[in-house]
Each structure stands twice: as structure tokens, then as C-alpha cells.
Amino acid sequence: MNYLALDASTEACSVALQVNGKTFSRYELCPQSHSLHLLPMIDAVLQEAGIKLAELDGLVFGQGPGSFTGVRIGVGVAQGLAFSANLPVVGVSSLQAMAQLAYIKHGQKQVVAAIDARMSEVYNGCFVLDENNIMQAQQAEAVTPPEKLTEHLSSVLTASFYAVGTGWDAYSEKLGEQLLSLKVNEGSPEVLFPTAEAMLSIGKVKLEQGQGVSAEDAQPVYVRDTVSWKKLPGK
């Protein structure tokens, strides 16, 4: 089965293509310019593999959480491609993808992902490896103040965990010594952003299990559904 994965949910922009068991990929850190890079990257991997979009069996996209604009770009591109080639699609969490990358690169089996969500909050989730070598969420993904992360995850943190994501550096002081002492890794996380390759590992399993949906049903997951703006003085 041949699958394409794409992600623009964070500062990183990436694509990955699996054709006949071989993977072709592109990855670039390009904040605020995903719309300029994503389609050329997709064209590049398709050309490298010598395959057309219509020859694929499914499409995987990064559904968030992350940058509101980036998530919308990724979902929009996924919908457009899926419509044009009549492909089923599945969304994969950016937090889950980082956890999967920690397993792929470092063999970690219990991971806490935390992305800087701005506004003094972090998107977060706790993941444990299942029998199919896929990281699975232990509770619903959430957005919380960093100082509340220990309390939020208390019911699922039963052992040391591996930390991934930009939230750990962004709020290192607020996360506090209690949570940091549980980490397997010290210092800055080695996995800061999701990749389309990690999403491909998760998404292809979902597609093969029949979880694919039509393009119009591809939905972003913002976690933070509303944004409250502080009123400026005198406004």
C-alpha cells in the first residue's frame, strides 16, 4: 500500500511518502512560510518515487494541535489532494507523532509531549506504546498552564517518562522540579517537532484498519477552541 503524509502544524513542515515499502521524505523548519513549501515538497517526493497522486491508497495529515494557521494549511492541502485523487484520509495528532518519533529514534515507550501553546499554556498529552508499536494517548489531549501539568497528568504518570516538545524549554521554570525529576532525559528534549514520517507510521495503521474518511470529513484538532484576547488600555 502506498501512502502520503504531510504536516504543517508547528514550525516544522514535512512530508513523507511510502511506496512499495520504501520511504521518501522532506523536512524543513520554516516558520510562517508553510504555504510556500508544502506543495513543492509533496511534488518532490512524488517525482523522486516516480508515482502519481492518483496511484496512492491514502493520505495522512497532521491534525494538530499546534499553530492555528499551520494546522489549517495542512488540513486544506490534504483535503484538496484527497478530493482530486479520491483518496481516504486520516488525521494524526502532532503530540502523538512526537511521541512516536521518540520511540522510533530513542526506543522510548512512555512519553509526555508538551508544545508551547503561547498565552502561558502548553498543549500536552501522555502516550504509552501499545502491542502494535504505536504510541497511544492515555487521556484526552489538553491545553493547560505549565505549572498545572503535574496535576493534570497525575492519574497517568506512573513511572519515569521521556519528554518531547518545545514546551519544556519555553516553560522550564514553571514546569517545576517535581515534574522535571520524573523525566528520563535531561536538558532540552531531542524531539522538538513532529515529522510526517512519524505520522506515516501511525496513519497507515489507521488506514489499514479502515479508519479513513472522505476529504470533506478531514477535521483539524485545535484543543484550544477559543482564544481570549486581552483588551488593550483605552480600547
Residue 87 CA, distance from chain mean position: 21
- CA-wise closest residue to 149 among 124, 119, 115: 124
What per-residue confidence (pLDDT) applies to 37?
Answer: 96
Beta-carbon contacts of 63 under 8 Å, excluding residues fewer than 6 positions away, are: 9, 71, 74, 75, 91, 92, 93, 94, 218, 219, 220, 221
Half-sphere exposure of 125 (CA within 13 A, CB side): 22
Do the bridges between strand 110-116 and strand 162-164 make them parallel or antiparallel, or are there none, so unpaired?
parallel
Span 170-179, average pLDDT: 86
Q: Give mean pLDDT, residues 200-207.
A: 97
Contact 41, 33 (CB under 8 A): no
- Find all residues with CB under 8 Å of 81, minimum gap 6, and list them: 4, 42, 53, 59, 87
Look at residue 227 and tell me whether its pLDDT is greater than 80: no
Average pLDDT over residues 144-148: 94
- 195 DSSP assignment: -
Q: Identify the residue with better confidence: 170 or 227.
A: 170
pTM of the model: 0.94
- Express each pLDDT in 109-126 by its tens digit: 999 999 999 999 999 999
User: Can you tell me the mean pLDDT for 77-95?
Assistant: 98
Domains in the chain, CATH or no CATH each: 3-93+194-217 (3.30.420.40), 95-180 (3.30.420.40)
Which three three-digit cell numbers place residue 92? 494524526
* Helices assigned H by DSSP within the chain: 34-49, 68-85, 94-106, 149-153, 167-170, 172-180, 196-208
The whole-angstrom separation of Cα 186 and Cα 173 is 14
